[in-house]
Amino acid sequence: MHHEPQRPAGVCCTGRVTANAAVSTGLIRLDLELEMPAEFLPGQFAMLNPQPGSAAFVFNRPFSIYGIDGQAVSFLYRIVGRGTAAMGELVGEDRVGFMGPLGRPFPVREDDRPALLLGGGVGLPPVAAWLERWGRDGDLACFGARDGGDAPWQLLDARWGVSVDEVAGVPENRTAFHGRVTALGADRVAGVKGPGLVLACGPVPLLKAARDLARDIAWECWLSLEEHMGCGYGVCKGCVVPVRVDGPDDRTWRNATCCDEGPVFAAADIAWERYALPSVPEPGPGTMEAKP
């Protein structure tokens, strides 16, 4: 049974940008020097505001913590919207709002079971941080990229297997598996004496494939979910995930707050039949679709 560790206390401050540079065609590493020291457990995240002290952003943006060393903290991100576009503009000495660490971490390593780590894109930091903190011989680390150019090769040492959807851009001195990262994981885990742990972070298709792989090999599975968040610390209830309940009444599921009760969940706890369903409203009479 997994014992949840005591979460480190959160700090709320700003950080000075010390580096903000591309590590692949799509991924950018941001390093900050915080005003005060912080700690974290792998799988935890922080809320960042690229323009603190202004009203430019109503909400901060959540990012998994890649590493913290005293006051130095690092993240990986990809420009996908207005917030990350503003982060892409940050230069040395700019200040970033920081609140963290937040959320439930991955399980701590408590036994000798091997771990299969699966990270896709910006899902690398939580699993990489776990490997850095608790990794040992026999663990299997796999990173999935869109193509060879999208993989941050200098962050991926010899422990890492890399998969690519497209083979273009793989450096000559590196090799990559052509296919999904979960297929690479299945390939590498074959023959490994289990049971072990599967820890994964990435988009929903990756998480579902990781869940299926873990089920097929009867390994325990923990997933770090990537959800849009409002507050990041459990007060707004804007990032809920359906989880199974075994209550005395007829309810079989409830909404769990992803930022506080997650972002790491046991795969077995998620009510998958209700998770990540499209919940788009019906078109109204005034929409284009309703017109002849």
Partner 1 sequence: MTPPAWWRTDPTEPFVLGPRVMPGRIWTASGCFGYGLSAHDVTAPGGRTPYTGLGAVVTKTVTPTPRGGNPMPRLAELPTGALNSIGLENVGLDAFLADTLPELERRGVPTVVSLAATQPQEFGSMCQRLAAVAAGFDHWHGVELNLSCPNVAEGGHDFGSDPVTVAACVAAARPHLPDRALLAKITPNVARIAPLALAAQEAGVDAVSAINTVVGLEVDLTTGRPVLPRRFGGYSGPGILPIALAKVDELVSSGVTTVGVGGISTGDDALRFFALGVVSVQVGTALMRDPMAAAGIAAELTPAVR
In the bound state with partner 1, the residue whose beta carbon lies nearer, of 11 and 266, is 11
- By DSSP bridging, strand 67-69 and strand 72-77 are antiparallel
CA angle 68, 228, 267 (to 5 degrees): 80
> Minimum distance between the CB of residue 213 and partner 1, rounded to whole angstroms?
26
> Minimum distance between the CB of residue 254 and partner 1, rounded to whole angstroms?
6
Q: Which residues bind partner 1 (CB under 8 A)?
A: 9-13, 35-36, 49, 55, 57-60, 97, 99, 228, 230-231, 233-240, 254-255, 260, 279-284, 287-289
In the bound state with partner 1, the residue whose beta carbon lies nearer, of 132 and 287, is 287
Q: Are 102 and 22 in contact (CB under 8 A)?
A: no
> Minimum distance between the CB of residue 271 and partner 1, rounded to whole angstroms?
12
Identify the residue whose tokens are 């690229």.
Answer: 50
CA end-to-end distance (rounded Å), the chain = 59
Report which of 131, 130, 106 is spatially closest to residue 221, judged by C-alpha positions.
106
Identify the residue whose tokens are 């972002």.
Answer: 263
Q: Are 215 and 207 in contact (CB under 8 A)?
A: no
In the bound state with partner 1, the residue whose beta carbon lies nearer, of 57 and 134, is 57
> Minimum distance between the CB of residue 289 and partner 1, rounded to whole angstroms?
7
> Minimum distance between the CB of residue 44 and partner 1, rounded to whole angstroms?
13
Rg of the chain's alpha carbons, rounded to an integer? 20
